[in-house]
């Protein structure tokens, strides 16, 4: 029955056509929305962001929950961290939003294994309380998070640090050939087994050193370390370093021909990043007239 066969095929193709268009429509109309919140440092600005962005599918905190830059009292910093944890538990229980909390260098010096000199903002009289809060909530924190080809970490991931310090699934495969998810897993496995490998290393006092760790490296060192040595499609999002001119830095990231690097330490500018599908945008919070610096 050639006619029916042809008819059937057309119908099937037609059905497949409709299905394809529908799937495509769904993806372009309602892509995954990810909201990226910069380094906290005791600030409650994250509450304004999550209030505005209630349709977010994923909310990512870039770390550094402690060590205020604007004299937020220690007890308030602690409460703010616990508020973030509680909010994470609440929205995750609702099933609508996934919350990712990245671990930063200003959280690292309160951990039990840390034996070196603490750095700026450290509060000795709060250290035991912060340590307890961090240790008991460590399962909520992560060093690296992969979403497709986008890799989130506090400061950025350098292949030089990976080569020297990371627990690698197999020694034969170069990092260039590993997926973003495999890189994130290697980083998190390293933290679970050898947390001290995230310590400050290298010679530049500011951290601008290509072998510096994912909680310490600065953008310049990160970019030069990775050229042609990590997958060209990799996009990295990091906090840790406040860009002076967020708009200009964002524009430069958008126009980059190689790896793309997005700066997300934007809370002090009252800004944050949104990733919808695979397109990034820079968002402004309304001016806070009660707290103008």
* Cβ nearer to Mn ion, comparing 68 with 97: 68
| 174 contacts 129 by C-beta, under 8 angstroms | no
Q: Which of 218, 240, 259, 260 binds Mn ion (CB under 5 A)?
A: 240
For position 158 contacting Mn ion by CB under 5 A, the verdict is: no
The C-alpha atoms of residue 106 and residue 62 are separated, in whole angstroms, by 11
The C-alpha atoms of residue 155 and residue 263 are separated, in whole angstroms, by 9
For position 207 contacting Mn ion by CB under 5 A, the verdict is: no
The C-alpha atoms of residue 13 and residue 259 are separated, in whole angstroms, by 39
List strand residue ranges (DSSP E) for 73-189, in order. 98-102, 141-142, 144-147, 150-153
For position 153 contacting Mn ion by CB under 5 A, the verdict is: no
Stretch that binds Mn ion, among 56-64, 83-91, 186-194, 247-255 (CB under 5 A): 56-64
Q: Which of 38, 74, 104, 219 binds Mn ion (CB under 5 A)?
A: 104
Positions 244 through 273 that interact with Mn ion (CB under 5 A): none
Residue nearest to Mn ion (CB): 240
Q: Which of 34, 68, 97, 105 binds Mn ion (CB under 5 A)?
A: 105
For position 218 contacting Mn ion by CB under 5 A, the verdict is: no
Q: Which residues of 114-137 are buried (b: 16+ CB within 10 A; e: fewer)?
A: beeeeeeeebeebbeebbebbeeb
Counting every residue written for the chain, the total comes to: 293
* Cβ nearer to Mn ion, comparing 175 with 198: 198
The CB-of-62 to Mn ion minimum distance in angstroms stands at 8
Stretch that binds Mn ion, among 28-36, 127-135, 158-166, 239-247 (CB under 5 A): 239-247
Q: Which of 36, 43, 60, 64 binds Mn ion (CB under 5 A)?
A: 64
For position 107 contacting Mn ion by CB under 5 A, the verdict is: no
For position 168 contacting Mn ion by CB under 5 A, the verdict is: no
CB count in 10 Å sphere of residue 251: 12
CA atoms within 13 A on the CB side of 77: 27
Stretch that binds Mn ion, among 9-17, 26-34, 64-72, 172-180 (CB under 5 A): 64-72
The C-alpha atoms of residue 208 and residue 266 are separated, in whole angstroms, by 20
| 67 contacts 41 by C-beta, under 8 angstroms | yes
Positions 19 through 38 that interact with Mn ion (CB under 5 A): none
Contact residues toward Mn ion (CB under 5 A) are: 64, 104-105, 240
């Amino acid at each position: 029955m050639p006619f029916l066969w042809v008819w059937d095929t057309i119908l099937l193709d037609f059905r497949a056509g409709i299905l394809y268009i529908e799937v495509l429509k769904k993806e372009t109309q309602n892509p995954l929305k990810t909201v990226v919140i910069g380094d906290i440092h005791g600030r409650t600005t994250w509450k304004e962001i999550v209030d505005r962005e209630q349709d977010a599918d994923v909310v990512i905190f870039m770390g550094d929950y402690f060590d205020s830059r604007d004299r937020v009292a220690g007890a308030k910093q602690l409460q703010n961290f616990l508020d973030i944890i509680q909010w994470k538990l609440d929205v995750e229980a609702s099933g609508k939003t996934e919350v990712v909390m990245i671990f930063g260098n200003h959280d690292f010096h309160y951990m039990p294994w840390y034996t070196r000199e603490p750095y700026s903002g450290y509060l000795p009289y709060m250290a035991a309380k912060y340590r307890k809060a961090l240790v008991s909530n460590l399962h909520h924190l992560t060093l690296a998070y992969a979403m497709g080809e986008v890799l989130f970490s506090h400061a950025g991931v350098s292949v030089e640090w990976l080569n020297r310090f990371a627990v690698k699934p197999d020694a034969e495969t170069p990092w260039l050939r590993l997926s973003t998810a495999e890189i994130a897993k290697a980083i998190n496995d390293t933290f679970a087994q050898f947390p001290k490998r995230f310590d400050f290393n290298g010679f530049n006092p500011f951290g601008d050193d290509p072998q510096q760790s994912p909680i310490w490296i600065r953008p310049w060192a990160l970019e030069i370390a990775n050229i042609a040595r990590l997958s060209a499609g990799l996009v990295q999002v990091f906090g840790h370093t406040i860009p002076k001119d967020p708009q200009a830095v964002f524009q430069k990231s958008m126009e980059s021909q190689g790896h793309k690097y997005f700066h997300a330490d934007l809370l002090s500018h009252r800004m944050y990043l949104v990733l919808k599908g695979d397109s990034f945008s820079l968002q402004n919070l309304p001016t806070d007239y009660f707290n103008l610096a």
